[in-house]
């Protein structure tokens, strides 16, 4: 009798697993990215953000923010000193230091999301810098890094500068980051060349599934060759590096810190969101 019950349970699990997987897939990093990216790239600057809750955790301050006219959290920051004026200390668009794109005063913040509505952050779009984004029709004659551009080229560069956001997701909702959409810079110029999707197919350890895209994450799949060192990419202002499990672990620590603040602030279900 016990064996029949075990076999029956296993049969049900196997039968239901495709539906569970399909349900998760509808909201995984590749499907959720377009909506999250829209939030990042088109902020509603006419709506002021305000501090909904701030907690000191260990030696750091975690600040949870949302629009002034509602009680929902969609921005989180971690800083060594408390944030007091979000609209001045969080720059939602690129700022310039003369002609150089910059993040503004605070560099450790991002948009946070709760995709499964369980009251915990499971997706973060963390600011990662500021740079120009390449367009397909851009001329390869644009000067390489270190060479002085013409005035017209400089104007073109400035017009294409935006904040960089790297997206980190916990797709199986176990409290650990298992995927990222990360910028990949032009190795010769200070332009964002494309985005790289890197994720752990089994939700554990090093990312082993990767592709690149420029416009559409769902329809473009440029091949990325994984090496023994990890998934190669060019970070902002640095030589070639690799996306590794260490990067996912590091961002898991960020998410855990944010979620500790969410818990201490008693945000609860329906307390996270942009609208």
**Pairwise pLDDT comparison (11 vs 194), residue with the higher score:** 194
pLDDT attached to residue 14: 39
The mean pLDDT of the chain is 88
Three-state SS letters, 44-82: CCCCCEEEEEEEEECCEEEEEEEECCCCCECEEEEECCC
Give domain limits for the chain: 32-264
Q: Is the pLDDT of residue 176 over 70?
A: yes
Separation of alpha carbons 97 and 257, rounded Å:
31
Query: What is the share, in percent, of the chain residues with pLDDT greater than 70?
Result: 89
pLDDT, position 143: 84
pLDDT the model gives residue 137: 66
State the Cα angle at 37 between 254 and 173, rounded to 5°: 45
Q: pLDDT exceeding 90 applies to what percent of the chain?
A: 69
**pLDDT, position 253:** 96
Query: If pLDDT is split at 50, 70 and 90, which confidence band does 250 have?
Result: very high
pTM beyond cutoff 0.85? yes
Average pLDDT over residues 225-249: 92
Output helix, strand, coil percentages for the chain, rounded to the nearest 5. Answer: 25, 30, 45
The pLDDT value recorded for residue 275 is: 61
pLDDT tens track for 15-61: 444 434 555 567 899 999 999 999 999 999 999 999 999 999 999 99
**Whole-number pLDDT of residue 201:** 86
């Amino acid at each position: 009798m016990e064996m029949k019950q075990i076999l029956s349970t296993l049969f049900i699990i196997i039968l239901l697993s495709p539906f569970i997987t399909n349900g998760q897939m509808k909201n995984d990093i590749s499907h959720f990215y377009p909506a999250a990216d829209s939030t990042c790239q088109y902020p509603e600057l006419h709506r002021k953000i305000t501090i909904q809750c701030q907690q000191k955790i260990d030696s750091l301050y975690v600040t949870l923010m949302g629009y002034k006219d509602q009680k929902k959290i969609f921005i989180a920051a971690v800083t060594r000193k408390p944030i007091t004026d979000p609209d001045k200390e969080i720059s939602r668009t690129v700022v310039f230091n003369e002609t150089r794109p910059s993040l503004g005063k605070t560099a450790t913040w991002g948009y946070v999301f709760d995709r499964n509505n369980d009251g915990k952050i499971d997706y973060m779009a963390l600011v990662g810098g500021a740079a120009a984004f390449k367009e397909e029709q851009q001329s390869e004659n644009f000067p390489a890094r270190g060479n002085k551009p013409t005035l017209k080229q400089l104007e073109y560069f400035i017009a294409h500068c935006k904040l960089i956001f790297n997206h980190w997701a916990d797709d199986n909702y176990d409290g650990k980051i298992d995927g990222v959409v990360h910028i990949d810079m032009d190795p010769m110029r200070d332009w964002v060349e494309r985005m790289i999707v890197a994720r752990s197919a089994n939700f554990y350890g090093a990312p082993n599934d990767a592709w690149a895209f420029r416009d559409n994450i769902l329809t473009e799949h440029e091949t990325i060759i994984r090496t023994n060192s990890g998934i190669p990419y060019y970070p902002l202002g640095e030589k070639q590096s690799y996306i590794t499990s260490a990067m996912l672990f590091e961002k898991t620590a960020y998410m855990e810190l944010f979620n500790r603040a969410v818990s201490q602030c008693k945000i609860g279900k329906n307390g996270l969101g942009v609208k």
